[in-house]
Amino acid sequence: MAARVWRHLGPGSGGSRERVSLSATDCYIVHEIYSGENAQDQFEYELEQALEVKYKYIVEHTQIGDETAHWITVSNYLHKTAVLAGTACLFTTLALPLDYPHYISLAAGVLSLACCMLYGVSGSLTLAASTRYQPLKVPDPALDCCPFADSHQAGLCKLASAMGNEELWVQPALEMPKRRDILAIVLIVLPWTLLITVWHQSSLAPLLAVHKDEGSDPRREAPPGADPREYCMSDRDIVEVVRTEYVYTRPPPWSDTLPTIHVVTPTYSRPVQKAELTRMANTLLHVPNLHWLVVEDAPRRTPLAARLLHDTGLNYTHLHVETPRNYKLRGDARDPRIPRGTMQRNLALRWLRETFPRNSTQPGVVYFADDDNTYSLELFEEMRNTRRVSVWPVAFVGGLRYEAPRVNGAGKVVGWKTVFDPHRPFAIDMAGFAVNLRLILQRSQAYFKLRGVKGGYQESSLLRELVTLNDLEPKAANCTKILVWHTRTEKPVLVNEGKKGFTDPSVEI
């Protein structure tokens, strides 16, 4: 009866048969036929013993050989399943955005890790994990090896004869090298890296953060006002909730080549003042080489504005001047004949002329930006290279969706797209133009007129002292893009303030 042979084929062998001499000392013969539920364990024990003695071949009975072949086949399928499933879970998790629900990404990562473990277990079970085997036929002992002339096959015949007429399995017992499978390493390392990354992105991370134990640096400082002894004792027993305070992002580094944008903002005390200044500061923080000139309509600088400006980290100048009573609004009614913010803007112009010499060569641009408007960051880059006076559209003014300069095919401003008094010399909103700093310094007589100028003519009172219509430089794609919006914050209704003890003047809003 013929026996089957499992012969080891080394890498690059191309399926060619190895011709070697075989002696009795090269083989280990398993004499018992193991049956029952412990057959596999017994075979593993016998195999380990043979490997330790370094036999080249192990001869076992057909029953054990069939079980081993089944074992190799199943574990190989486990290998393929683990690789495919683990890779799919891994790349699915990597493809998820960081803001994806954490319970999904964590579950995919755990599945990937489980597949890695399955891959490792199946690799330890199979003899075919790191080597290749090819089945061959061993001749029937009764033929006395006549058809085979080489000594290798003759040796196998002698082994088969020694075992009688039973069908045999013969497989090489070369010592299997330990696996250094790159794929296994990748499937193990990457999921853990992914899980750690997701954990750090999770909102649970602060709750899970704990102090180091006794091996930590004992020179750490306790929180201000805390008892150092109490802090050290509780440090080992509690989970610390990380508390952070919001800090304004500092503006971009100052550049020696970019012109400075001087943003002039008049402001006055009201319930929404801090909210609007905060919103505007958050925009200006993204603009490089910016100087914020904030001028309060007050007899003195208020602590609210002073603290806010200091905390922003912006380059700023804080000024104040109070508008005379007869030029202030009365009640909630808006009188278009009374100009607003005129004295504050004029004080900023005076400060610039007193700070910079008349013949200053420092490049710069002056822009009058109210604190209730909305500004695109693109607007500041558009105005930065203003040669004299640049202009652009403004949305939500004059009862229209937007007002804009009228530009001809040659790129020159020839008029104004507006309904309210379109024959004004410069029918433009305060947020719709910027002036070169040198022009401001050279034309020292140019100010906003307070007396004898009705509402809507403040812009013209300044610009007519600086340029003519032909000097205007249209920006924002020839005045076709909206980069500033004349928005207004709704006045809060505080009818219940002061009732039933709901007033706390110490809380700054």
C-alpha Rg value of the chain to the nearest Å: 43
pTM of the model: 0.53
- Tell me how many helices (H) and strands (E) the chain has: 14, 17
Q: Is 421 annotated as a binding-site member?
A: no
pLDDT in tens, 86-96: 666 666 656 66
Which CATH superfamily does the domain covering 260-329+336-485 fall into? Spore Coat Polysaccharide Biosynthesis Protein SpsA; Chain A (3.90.550.10)
Dihedral class, residue 14 (left if φ above 0, else alpha if ψ from -120 to 50, else beta): left
Cβ–Cβ contacts within 10 Å for residue 21, how many?
Answer: 10
Let me know if 459 is a catalytic residue.
Answer: yes
Q: Where are the domains of the chain?
A: 3-197, 260-329+336-485
pLDDT in tens, 235-274: 433 333 333 344 445 677 889 899 999 999 999 999 999 9
How far apart CA 275 and CA 325 sit, in angstroms, is: 26
pLDDT in tens, 353-395: 999 999 999 999 999 999 999 999 999 999 999 999 999 999 9
Q: Is 370 annotated as a binding-site member?
A: yes
Contact in structure between 484 and 380 (CB atoms under 8 Å): no
Task: Detail the DSSP E strand segments found in 428-485.
Answer: 433-436, 472-474, 484-485
pLDDT of residue 98: 54
Q: Which residue has the tokens 């200044």?
A: 277
Higher pLDDT, 301 or 109: 301
How far apart CA 261 and CA 293 sit, in angstroms, is: 10
Q: Is 372 annotated as a binding-site member?
A: yes
pLDDT at 14 > cutoff 60: no
Q: Is 345 annotated as a binding-site member?
A: yes
| Per-residue confidence band for 47, with pLDDT thresholds at 50, 70 and 90 | low
Outline where 26-61 has alpha helix (H): 39-53
pLDDT of residue 266: 97
Triad 483, 485, 491: Cα angle to 5° = 155
Percent of the chain surpassing pLDDT 70: 48
pLDDT in tens, 431-485: 999 999 999 999 999 999 988 787 788 999 999 999 999 999 999 999 999 999 9
How far apart CA 256 and CA 21 sit, in angstroms, is: 84
Q: Is 332 annotated as a binding-site member?
A: no
Burial, 496: exposed, middle or buried (Cβ in 10 Å; 0-12, 13-18, 19+)?
Answer: exposed
pLDDT at 32 > cutoff 90: no
Query: Which of 52, 459, 465, 508 is flagged as catalytic?
Result: 459
pLDDT in tens, 295-337: 999 999 999 999 999 999 999 999 999 988 877 766 555 555 5
